[in-house]
Amino acid sequence: LTAFQLPQKFPLQLRTKNIGVFSPQLQEHYPDQPMELHLWARQQPLLSCHPDALHGTLFSSAEAFVVLPNTTRVPVFLLNIDANVTGKPTITRNRLGGTVRLTG
């Protein structure tokens, strides 16, 4: 389980006023309050190697909390996020690199 808050200078702040576009009730109940996002893996990823790429399926969850002035955290939503990704490694002049693409 990982919890984080975005740095103050980050251009997109995780606050109820920014999430209010998706959930107006959130902004009504908790006007302009900071939020936390907790992320975790629900199960181990599935990985497979193919001659042209690496394929994987990630199984994760994200839970959002409003942080009240007294530091109490109020849970507001839980999302299960499953993603299929493809990675293509490259080697250039003794450097390992690559690309990762969301495929589903």
Nearest to 76 by CA among 40, 35, 42, 41: 35
Banded pLDDT at 43 (limits 50, 70, 90): very high
pTM of the model: 0.69
Task: List CB contacts of 43: < 8 A, sequence separation 6 or more.
Answer: 59
pLDDT at 99 exceeding the cut of 80: yes
Give me the numbers of helices (H) and strands (E) for the chain, helices first please: 2, 6
Q: What is the mean pLDDT of the chain?
A: 88
Question: What percentage of the chain carries pLDDT values higher than 90?
Answer: 55
When pLDDT is averaged across residues 23-45 and rounded to a whole number, the result is 90
Q: Give the pLDDT score at 74.
A: 95
Overall size of the chain counted in residues: 104
Q: What is the pLDDT of residue 6?
A: 62
- Rounded to whole angstroms, how far apart are CA atoms 16 and 11? 15
Q: Sorting pLDDT into bands at 50, 70 and 90, what band is 55?
A: very high
Q: Phi and psi of 88, rounded to 5°? A: -120, 105
What pLDDT score does 3 carry?
56
pLDDT of residue 87: 93
